[in-house]
Structure formats: C-alpha cells, structure tokens
Amino acid sequence: TEYVKPGKGQAFTRMKYRFIKSGRVVEMTMKATDDVEVADVVDTDMRYLYTDGEYWHFMDPESFEQVQADKAGMGGAEKWLKGEEDCIVTLWNGAPIWVQPPNFVELKITETDPGVRGDTSGGGGKPATLETGAVVRVPL
C-alpha cells in the first residue's frame, strides 16, 4: 500500500490485493471516499480427521462442527498431515479456502536412495519419501 498526495488534486492510495480463491494479485488505485467490501474471512483452529481421496475433513474441537476442504483449499498442506493434527483453517463464508499445517510434524521415512559418498559437493543430501508422500532432502 502506498499513500500518494500529489501537489494538485485529491490524495489517493495505490494498493495491491490478492483474490482469496484464485490467489491472483491485482493493483488498484483508490480515493479516500471509495468503499471496499470486506471479506468474511476467519482463521479457526481445527483438527484434521481423515481424507476420502477427494476431500480432507476437519473438525472444530469446541463445537464438533465438521468441514471438508478440496485439493485447492489444502494448498499443499496434505503432504504434512497423517491424522489427528491441529491445523489453522481459513474459512470464507463458512467454507475452507486455506489450511495451514502444524509447524512441526513427526513422519516416518518410507523410502530413500543409498547415498553416494563422493556426492557431497552440494551439501551432502539425498531425497527421502515420507509416509504421506512428501519428498524432502535428508543428510547422507
């Protein structure tokens, strides 16, 4: 956001905003008298329950209300969830649009290639597949 007060004329604000659903960023110029519709966005602590392949199901631990997020709403968080983790789910008009996984998770490594001893010029790591399907780099 940038506030501009020209020498002549009315002051205005240049701003960038992001569409919630698509993630597209748009620049806009607004006067002080312009109105903006505020989105009904709420961050809620929820517990991940399970996935049925198409949707990921979450429950509010206080009200036991359940919501389901699709792949677009997960935003890549599905790689770090295996069950019963507490997440922050962003709801827009009651529907999940973004899921933030926990900062720390314990996952098992299911597959990794044997490391080559001479392959340490770039830091000495090798790819490892976790139980959720995520691929991370681990030390040799």
Q: What is the pTM of this model?
A: 0.72
Distance between CA atoms of residues 48 and 136, nearest Å: 22
pLDDT at 99: 92
Max mean pLDDT among 7-11, 27-31, 32-36, 87-91 falls in 87-91
Q: What are the sequence ranges of the domains in the chain?
A: 2-31, 41-100, 109-139
Q: Are 140 and 115 in contact (CB under 8 A)?
A: yes
Predicted local confidence at residue 118, as pLDDT? 64
**Chain segment 87-130, per-residue pLDDT in tens:** 999 998 888 988 999 999 999 999 998 876 665 666 678 889 99
How far the first Cα of the chain sits from its last, in Å, is 46
CA distance 73 to 23: 11
Per-residue model confidence as pLDDT tens digits over 41-81: 899 999 999 999 899 999 999 999 999 999 888 888 899 99
Q: How far apart are CA 46 and CA 59, in angstroms?
A: 5
CATH superfamily of 41-100: Nucleic acid-binding proteins (2.40.50.140)
